[in-house]
Amino acid sequence: MKARLRSSDNLVTRDVVIHMSEILNEETLKMDKALKIEIVDPDAMARVPTTATTETTVTTGSASKPVDQAHLLSLKLRDMTDVKVKNFVEKLVNVYVVSVCCGDVQHFLEFETVEKRDDWGNGLRSLHHAYQWAHKRTEAKTDEQKLHLIKTINLQLPRPGCIISMDVETAGGRKAELDVLDKKDKYSSDACKELTHDFVLQNFVVPAEGASLYRFIRSVLSRLLMERETNIILGEMDSYRYNKVTEGLAAEKGANGSQVRMQLHTAQESLRDLAEHVTERIGKHGPSSQLLVDILLRSIEKTKIYNRMAFAVNFGKSGEEIEF
């Protein structure tokens, strides 16, 4: 498979050909899986990353052709600490990347299409998680190797930097903390799926429980975000009320109706714009969201009427005759 390689310790972008292979582990005398990367243009290589091995590889099936070892990288599965699928925009062009971390070095493999990226990303992630799972099982005690159902989930006050914090206990008595960071890219749908998947894997939870845990996290998140956004909208609405809008003008002696009218005109425009975006900002998660949207829209309309009537009371005109 053709791709482009860029590493954190070598920022030169190189054309490469990648495929999976096996390398003899001299300690265990067993074959270890590795991601084999052959650099197409050797002159573009400034230096070989220190985390990548350059020993002779043994490929299953027919014997592979000899390759100059100086231009061959082999990222062993056991050396990988993380595998992620990412999207970037570079010079207005979408870049589809699989990120492979080996120790302190991060390798970025760029693919031509999102389909090819997803195939390799999902494959590498599956192999990486399978290796982690097998490695954990060999080190864990017998009773810890068994998969367990989730027994209880206790929501806690959010820990510093988190939007959600919870304590999860499995039927086997294992307890673990689960935190969702208070960053927009950390509580997106994809980020929550990845967080749930990793938690289930690391804590020996029955995989079927992952879907229920994900739905619970998303449910709590939607309510928290809805409450947070509602408070923000109410604060904006309050700032457009007559007493707030004319607060600065009240301190000025001789403030006339035209000045107040101008300020209220700007406030009315802001309220109309706010009403247009309420549905988008609150979202459509659950039946309560639509009820909340209706209440907020009604409150915005009441604020408009209040402004018109307050202007009429202070400047001697009926609210119906005022056009902001």
pLDDT digits (tens, 9 = 90+) for 127-164: 877 777 776 655 544 455 578 899 999 999 999 999 99
CA–CA separation, 302 and 285 (whole Å)? 26
Q: Which residues contact 89 (CB under 8 A, 6 or more apart)?
A: 95
Three-state DSSP state, 186: coil
Say what the pLDDT of residue 324 is.
52
Q: Could you tell me the strand order of the sheet in which 175-181 lies? A: 150-156, 162-170, 175-181
Most confident range, picked from 14-28, 50-64, 160-174: 160-174
- What average pLDDT is seen over the chain? 80
Say what the pLDDT of residue 48 is.
45
Most confident range, picked from 74-83, 253-262, 287-296: 287-296
pLDDT, tens digit, for every residue of 36-64? 878 876 554 444 444 444 444 444 433 34
Backbone angles phi, psi at 28, to 5 degrees: -100, -10
Place of tokens 């492979």: 100
pLDDT at 75 > cutoff 60: yes
Say what the pLDDT of residue 211 is.
92
How many CB atoms within 10 Å of residue 261? Answer: 14
Q: Is the sign of the CA dihedral 242, 248, 253, 255 positive or negative?
A: negative
Say what the pLDDT of residue 52 is.
45
Place of tokens 């902001």: 324
How many CB atoms within 10 Å of residue 237? Answer: 20
Lowest mean pLDDT among 5-19, 109-123, 144-158: 5-19
Lowest mean pLDDT among 17-21, 189-193, 224-228: 17-21
pLDDT at 8 > cutoff 60: yes
pLDDT, tens digit, for every residue of 176-213? 999 999 998 888 889 999 999 999 998 989 999 999 99
pLDDT at 124 > cutoff 80: yes
Please report, as a single letter, which amino acid is at residue 286.
Answer: G
Nearest to 38 by CA among 124, 123, 109: 109
- How much is the average pLDDT of 270-294? 88
End-to-end CA, the chain: 64
CA–CA separation, 191 and 180 (whole Å)? 9
Residue 47 CA, distance from chain mean position: 33
Three-state DSSP state, 40: coil
Residue 182 CA, distance from chain mean position: 10
